[in-house]
Amino acid sequence: MKRIQTLETKDLPKSAEKGGCGECQSIVNLCE
Amino acid sequence: MIHRYKSNGYNIIIDGNSGAVHSVDALAYDIIGMYENTPKDEIVTQMLDKYKDQPDITESDIRDVFADIEELIDKKKLFSKDAFAPVAFDFKKRQSVVKALCLHIAHDCNLACKYCFAGKGEYCGEKSLMSFEVGRAAIDFLIAASGTRRNLEVDFFGGEPLMNLEVVKRLVAYGREQEALHNKNLRFTLTTNGILLDEQVMEFANREMSNIVLSLDGRREVHDRFRVSRSGRGSYDIILPKFKKMAALRNHRNYYIRGTYTHFNTDFACDILHMADLGFREISMEPVVAPPSEPYALTEQDVALLCEQYELLAVEMLKRSKKGEGFNFFHYMIDLEMGPCIIKRISGCGVGSEYLAVTPTGELYPCHQFVGDEGFLLGNVYDGVTNTALRDSFKLCNVYTKKECGDCFARLYCGGGCAANSYHSSGDINGTYKIGCDLHRKRIECAVMLKVAEAFLRD
């Protein structure tokens, strides 16, 4: 088994380029 | 900025700036902890000494971990740099729209909960109910201030909203007319203590409310300690059958059983599990909001106990989930793959600009927790937001304006936390509330651990 396993996660730096449309609804709970 | 922690047998690394999550073995966990500040040859020496009883760990293994780390650094998924600060200071220029209103439909309540931040529902003012005319003006204001956004939210809040049910019904009907005229999708929500829930109310709520919050604190003795009638009688036995029926009628979706824990039930995981044992599947439990002088206020000494409870809860949830008896806990419902974009994560909940509270007389405040504090009056539903300087101060309030957030791994999961809690704790919306931060960090750790566990189960 690999010693480091990386989970699939949102690419936050990329979301700085495309995000911010304002169509979102603790903040951890969604983009619409 | 990385955060390393151990939880439920997992070794977890959160890369704070990229949002990447890694599950690692003990050797990689140790090496990552030393990687930035220790020469590689020294790491090799120390690791070979530490793991000398494990002959399968060789220098080659250790150098393989170095290579894996370098690969992750190249991919900007480990020890990644903060690239978002320039984004944060443009927020004042951003055109924001109003997305949601919290309608204080009743500044009155049929309970007298001793910990209520709204002072038995009256917000330290006179008892009052919102008129249909004020509510209608609020909906008109929301539609006019919402720009091109289609999904709009109106929460009926109090006090106890069902004490003004006829106005609630008329406002929902008015909202339905207006959404058709303006191509909007209005979603109504309701928070209730349950006393006035009957079959007619349930039928109306299930037809019109996209989400309902039902207030229950857990075990009978815990609930009845604070949630009492005006004559001091506990409400657990009155509301529980109604809440069970309500949850069943909603097919156990789109509702939350929502409790408050205090200094007197620092074993709150027992209350959450009690609610799960009662059959509720959507559960939330929040720390009490109270001045430190109150005997039920949470203390610094409580924090370690409370963090243990969050851990116990996460482990028990995992066990129940494996047996097909799972339930949702609001703070552990984190979406690592499709969560909020970075703009949302930096700017937080929208208090004061995207989300406003409306008093029974139509005044606008940044959120329900600021209502009644005249220093935070933003305007009214007829003239809109007139105190634009105050609104802009909320727009600019973000994780980069709070110095305590600077080295916190959780800042992009909490958006800087609750402005009202910060203000009441530090006197400044750009401050922080230390106990709240400690608890939030623990909840994020537990939520991420559950995601790691899910990934392992899937594999």
Chain A residues closer than 8 Å to B337 by CB? 8-10
Between chains, do B345 and A18 touch, taking CB under 8 Å as contact? no
Between chains, do A29 and B336 touch, taking CB under 8 Å as contact? no
pLDDT on residue B232: 95
Residue of A nearest to B444 (CA): A28
The answer, yes or no, to whether residue B86 has pLDDT greater than 80, is no
CB contact B408 to A (< 8 Å)? no
Mean pLDDT check: name the lowest of B13-27, B263-277, B406-420. Answer: B406-420
| pLDDT interval class at B288 (50, 70, 90) | very high
| pLDDT interval class at B343 (50, 70, 90) | confident
Q: Give residue B9's region: left, alpha or beta (phi > 0; psi -120 to 50).
A: left
Between chains, do B452 and A7 touch, taking CB under 8 Å as contact? yes
Chain A residues closer than 8 Å to B68 by CB? 2-4
Average pLDDT rounded to a whole number, residues B51-72: 94
Over residues A1-32, the pLDDT tens digits come to 579 989 888 888 877 775 677 777 666 656 76
Over residues B254-272, the pLDDT tens digits come to 898 989 999 999 999 999 9
Question: Which residue's entry shows tokens 């069943």?
Answer: B248
A 10 A CB-CB count for B62 gives 22
Chain B residues closer than 8 Å to A6 by CB? 20-22, 72, 77
CB contact A17 to B (< 8 Å)? no
Task: Identify which has the larger pLDDT, B396 or B229.
Answer: B229
- Decide: helix, strand or coil at residue B51: coil
CA dihedral B326, B328, B334, B335 (to 10 degrees): 70
| pLDDT interval class at B458 (50, 70, 90) | low
Over residues B191-213, the pLDDT tens digits come to 999 999 998 899 899 989 988 89
Question: Which residue's entry shows tokens 């999961």?
Answer: B413
Between chains, do B341 and A22 touch, taking CB under 8 Å as contact? no
| Partner residue opposite B455 with nearest CB, options A4, A7, A10 | A7
Chain B residues closer than 8 Å to A17 by CB? none
d(Cα B274, Cα B268) in Å, to the nearest integer?
10
The answer, yes or no, to whether residue B89 has pLDDT greater than 60, is no
| pLDDT interval class at B91 (50, 70, 90) | low
Over residues B153-198, the pLDDT tens digits come to 899 998 999 999 989 999 999 999 999 999 998 989 999 999 999 9
The answer, yes or no, to whether residue B396 has pLDDT greater than 90, is no
Over residues B19-32, the pLDDT tens digits come to 999 999 999 999 99
Between chains, do A26 and B440 touch, taking CB under 8 Å as contact? yes
Between chains, do A22 and B97 touch, taking CB under 8 Å as contact? yes
| pLDDT interval class at B422 (50, 70, 90) | very high
CB contact B450 to A (< 8 Å)? no
A 10 A CB-CB count for B229 gives 14
Q: How many helices (DSSP H) and strands (DSSP E) are in chain B? A: 16, 16
Average pLDDT rounded to a whole number, residues B274-284: 94
Structure tokens at B64: 């393989």
pLDDT on residue B120: 64
Beta bridge partners of B45: none
Separation in Å, CA of B346 to nearest CA in chain A? 10
DSSP B288-309: ----TTSTTS--GGGHHHHHHH
Edge-to-edge strand list for the sheet holding B255-261: B328-329, B282-287, B255-261, B209-215, B185-192, B151-157, B100-104, B355-358, B363-365, B379-380, B384-385
Residues 303-322 of chain B whose Cβ lies under 8 A from any Cβ of chain A: none
**Residues B98, A27: contact at Cβ < 8 Å?**
no
Residues 92-121 of chain B whose Cβ lies under 8 A from any Cβ of chain A: 94, 96-97, 99
CA-to-CA separations, B53 to A6, B58, B110, B447, in angstroms, rounded: 28, 11, 67, 34
d(Cα B168, Cα B175) in Å, to the nearest integer?
10
Separation in Å, CA of A10 to nearest CA in chain B? 4
A 10 A CB-CB count for B394 gives 27
CA-to-CA separations, B184 to B152, B207, B290, B357, in angstroms, rounded: 7, 18, 37, 20
CA dihedral B336, A32, B410, B333 (to 10 degrees): -60
Beta bridge partners of B380: B363, B384
Residue of B nearest to A18 (CA): B341
Beta-strand relationship, A4-6 and B106-107:
unpaired
CA dihedral A20, A26, A29, A31 (to 10 degrees): -10
Between chains, do A9 and B20 touch, taking CB under 8 Å as contact? yes
Nearest to B157 by CA among B111, B204, B119, B189: B189
d(Cα B52, Cα B44) in Å, to the nearest integer?
12
Average pLDDT rounded to a whole number, residues B339-358: 86
| Partner residue opposite B21 with nearest CB, options A1, A7, A25 | A7
Kind plus residue range of the DSSP H or E element containing B7: strand B2-7
CB contact B441 to A (< 8 Å)? no
Mean pLDDT of chain B: 91
pLDDT on residue A28: 63
Average pLDDT rounded to a whole number, residues B345-350: 84
Separation in Å, CA of B340 to nearest CA in chain A? 6
| Buried b / exposed e along B159-170 (16+ C-beta atoms within 10 A) | bbbbbbbebbee
Chain B residues closer than 8 Å to A28 by CB? 331, 333-335, 339-340, 413-414, 444, 447
Separation in Å, CA of A19 to nearest CA in chain B? 5
Q: Which residues are CB-contacts of B20 (< 8 A; sequence separation ≥ 6)?
A: A6, A7, A9, B14, B72, B77, B78, B80
| Partner residue opposite B338 with nearest CB, options A10, A20, A26 | A10
